[in-house]
Chains A and B, each alone.
Chain A
Amino acid sequence: MTLLLGFAAVNTGNNLLYLLVSALLGFMAVSGILGRWNLAGLGVRVEVPDEVYDGVSTLLSVRLANRKRLLPACLVEVFLPAAGRATFIFVERGGTANEALPAIFHGRGIHTLGQVQTRSIFPINFFIRSFPVPLDRTFTVFPTPRPCRLSGEAGRQAAGGELPVGRKGYEGELSRISDYRGGEPLKLIHWKLSARHGQLKVKELSSAARPPVTIELDLLPGGLEERLRCAAYLADSYLRENRPVGLRLGSQTLPPAVGRAHKLRLLTELAVHGQG
């Protein structure tokens, strides 16, 4: 349009047309600059959930911070090659905004969100401007848990005596009543029985923990990947039952334990197993 009007202006020598063409040229220049400003001063953070499984859809949280002092950020798209794009319509100056972005990662092991791009059509939907933003966010994709049948040996019990079954604990079910020996917490004193016997009696509770189990990868059925998935499944299901799980990967052994951190550790080991 500018070219056409410019052509008309030059040929007619009509200064009013020149004025119009000048305004359009000015507009093009400013829109370019405004577009650059819009993408300047942006910070992108991508939060990956703790547990990401191979081939299973997960939600990434994309956080866009607008560090500009004066201008809001408009119509910014954060494009992750692995996941797709999250669109932020409007982020006020100095503000942040979050968008959830569904993503599926394929292949177990360590993944990197190497570089994301911030893109925007703002201010005019004629051009798309984009800026690469290095992210270098690494995370581990775990093998997908797959139910498998357990042969007797694979998930063998830990050696007896090391961690006796039914050891005492402070939670779980009541296993017996015994005499107060002075070290038990007061809350365990069975006041009724103590009154009846004239002697302090305490409740002995069984530990809630189930017998520990160590998963031995080599004893699981199937190929390596299948075994890893099976191990992930087993680890997950045992830990759900609050049963300590250990892992033996060739020569490497992880002692049985419970808890979320342990679970992530197990899954991480499984994810990177055999990947150098």
Chain B
Amino acid sequence: MVRVSSLLNLLSYAAAALGVAPLFLYLDLPVQFALPFAFAAGVFCDRRRRYPLSGGIATLLSIVCFFLYAVQISRDHLIEPVVNILALLLAVRLATEKSARNYLQVFVLAVFALASSSLLTLSAAFFLYLVLLVTGVTVGLVLLSFHAVDPQLVLSRRQTGRILSVSLILPAISLVLMLAFFIILPRTQHPLWNFLNPAATATAGFSEEVRPGSFAGIAAAKEVALRVESERLPPDERYWRGIVLNTPAGSTWVRKAPPSGEMARIRGGRAILQTIYPEPKPGNYLFALDVPRGVEGLSSSQAGDFIFRARGSLARRVKYTAVSVVGGDFEAIGPVDRDFYLAVPPQLSERVRQVAVGIAARGASASDRIALLEAFFANQQLDYATTDLPASDDPVDEFLFEKKRGYCEFFASSFALLLRLSGVPSRLVGGYYGGEYNEMGGYYLVTEDTAHVWVEALVDGRWVRLDPSRLARNAEASLLAPRVRGLNAGRRLLDTVDYYWNRAVVAYDLARQLQLLQQTNRQLRQFRVPFDLPTAGGYLLAGIVGTIALIALVRRGRYSREERILRLFLRRVRKKHHLEAIPAATGLQELAKQLDDPVCREFAEIFGGGVYRDRKLTKEELKKLRVLVRKLR
């Protein structure tokens, strides 16, 4: 035997735990302590059915908790006090005696707690909590209706099982409907309370300036930077362009507005369409495969050096599409401000300047000088490393001649400076290099630890990508290999889940809604009824036959085999003997006797032999009965 109130107790603990779990880490320490205590006290008191915390004291305690945090509420500090209040109210409710009302309060508070957690984190775990909580609360509400009829109600195990399985219909269908409602519920373009949503977590890795020697640190963690849906790309092409740094200021490279009138175009090559989902972070540079020709789907501005910046913040989840050209010519249109792209900081060591002078003297064209500089880099036996780095005031000199080790920033900034010194206009490009293709999701996952800096040099009026880091002795092992290795299988799976979650749920907005609507519209418009009569007639006929078959199938399902044959028999008898109706109480034998029909008598004998002895008819018997019914025609 199962007591309904015991089941309700269990469900209320579960609902409370599921509601609070996603926001537990955001609660104040005292509240974090109070919750497990309240759980334990609740379980203990429910078992003993003695509650030291009476209703009056509990209400008083709730009011005190409420005011304690309510006074902390302000426009900038809104969510935290509210979640603490919710958690405390839930704690008080758990520890007190549970009436029908109190169970309901626990369920409502748990739902609100889960709802408020969405204002703190947008993790995909929310969905799991949601499914479990909806299941728990709906089953709880069903049991609560039994509790309302009789609080002491005790059910048999069998009944409990049946009631639980019926009540599980509720969450099962609710969750399916949830998906439909989610798609059609109205969205607004500019939510009023957007400030309530969780702020993005800032991740290190890509930075908007390059400062070799100050070890800003390469983000070692494999945090997601962006996800890019695109066709498969060879590893050498996976350069994700973000920012052009065109001005060295001391040992730091920064971005200044490109010279006015600078223009460029991309000729030839292969266009590659990408859909890009950047992780929220500060800054507004839009990344795309090198070289991006255009960005759509997000309000953005384009600079002369083909750098795209979002007009809004990227601290929320967004997506955009970009078209990039691989293997094309990135041509500068009109004269390039050479002085701007040849400027170097004054404090450069003599050794460095000498190298440049030598290259400029030996190489006549830009491409010759680049080749000479590459040879110089190769000669210097440089290592790609992230530890024991040059850290002096002149990191370029120290990198090239002393330590001979560094990461991409050292390679790129030294290379660009030497190019500039030897008279080749150049600039640094910041972005990511690498990315692993996720087969399950069909996207490239670009992580923060693949942040990279390379060089663009102007050769014969065209900007050419050069990656000096590849000139390191250990480039293959240290630079290239780790960038395509990606995540391990488990994390890749989690990332796929996260990707779909962000794509399908978190980033769903008015634009997507309209897009879906248009798509449906288009598909409906494209749907044409076939014009030729035979085909149309065929469809119509098939439809009618299908419907009739379906109805017959449903009707068949309503009756057992025995009932079906009996109904058929009675119908035929009525017809044959011109009877208006056969009273339901008339037995078959009696009927056969009254009608004096041998077929009826035989039918009654066979049918009665089975059904009235409480067993199903055998196949042979059914066959015989069918023959008899046919004879009645």
List residues of chain A with CB under 8 Å of any chain B CB.
1, 5-6, 8-27, 29-31, 34, 69, 71-72, 74-75, 87, 89-90, 92, 121-125
Contacts and interface: CB of A to CB of B under 8 A. Distances in A.
Interface string B132-165: 0010001001101110111001010001001100
Nearest to B144: A125
A125 B141 contact: yes
Given A15-B508, A74-B163, A31 B153 contact: no
B109 to A, nearest CB: 10
A9 B118 CA distance: 10
A15 B505 contact: yes
Interface in B176-210: 176-182, 185-188, 191-194, 196-197
B158 to A, nearest CB: 9
B541 interface: no
Nearest to B159: A90
B500 interface: no
Nearest to B172: A30
Contact of B115 (A17, A29, A31, A125): A17
5 contacts: A12-B197, A23-B175, A27-B170, A29-B174, A30-B177
Task: Name the 4 nearest CB pairs between A and B, nearest first.
Answer: A26-B177, A13-B191, A16-B118, A22-B181
A72 B167 CA distance: 11
B149 A12 contact: no
Contacts of A75: 145-146, 149
A10 B188 contact: yes
Given A12-B119, A14-B119, A19 B166 contact: no
B23 to A, nearest CB: 12
A124 B142 contact: yes
Contacts of B185: 6, 9, 18, 21-22, 25
Interface of B: 100, 108, 111-112, 114-115, 118-119, 122, 126-127, 130, 134, 138, 141-142, 144-146, 148-150, 153, 155, 159, 162-163, 166-167, 169-171, 173-182, 185-188, 191-194, 196-197, 505-509, 558
Given A14-B118, A69-B558, 5 more contacts: A13-B188, A13-B197, A26-B177, A26-B178, A34-B170
A122 B167 CA distance: 10
Interface centre among A8, A23, A71 (most CB of B within 10 A): A23
B191 A11 contact: yes
A13 B187 CA distance: 7
Contacts of A125: 100, 141, 144-145, 148
Contact of A11 (B166, B181, B192): B192
Given A26-B177, A31-B170, A72-B162, A11 B122 contact: no
B516 to A, nearest CB: 14
B505 A10 contact: no
Contacts of A30: 169-170, 173-174, 177
**Residue from A1, A19, A30, A34 having most chain B Cβ neighbours under 10 A:** A19
Contacts of B145: 75, 121-125
Contacts of A13: 187-188, 191, 194, 197, 509
Contacts of B112: 1, 5
B131 to A, nearest CB: 9
A71 B175 contact: no
A23 B174 contact: yes
A89 B146 CA distance: 8
B188 to A, nearest CB: 6
Given A122-B145, A125-B145, A125-B148, A26 B173 contact: yes
Given A29-B177, A122-B145, A72 B508 contact: no
A10 B192 CA distance: 8
Residue of B100, B115, B134, B170 with most partner-chain A CB within 10 A? B115
A149 to B, nearest CB: 48
Contacts of A18: 182, 185, 187, 508
B177 A17 contact: no
Contact of A22 (B149, B166, B171, B178): B178
Contacts of B197: 12-14
Nearest to A29: B177
A55 B112 CA distance: 54
A78 to B, nearest CB: 14
Contacts of B149: 75, 87, 89, 121
A22 B182 contact: yes
A123 B119 CA distance: 31
A12 B191 contact: yes
Contacts of A11: 188, 191-193
Contacts of B126: 16, 19
A23 B130 contact: yes
B142 to A, nearest CB: 5
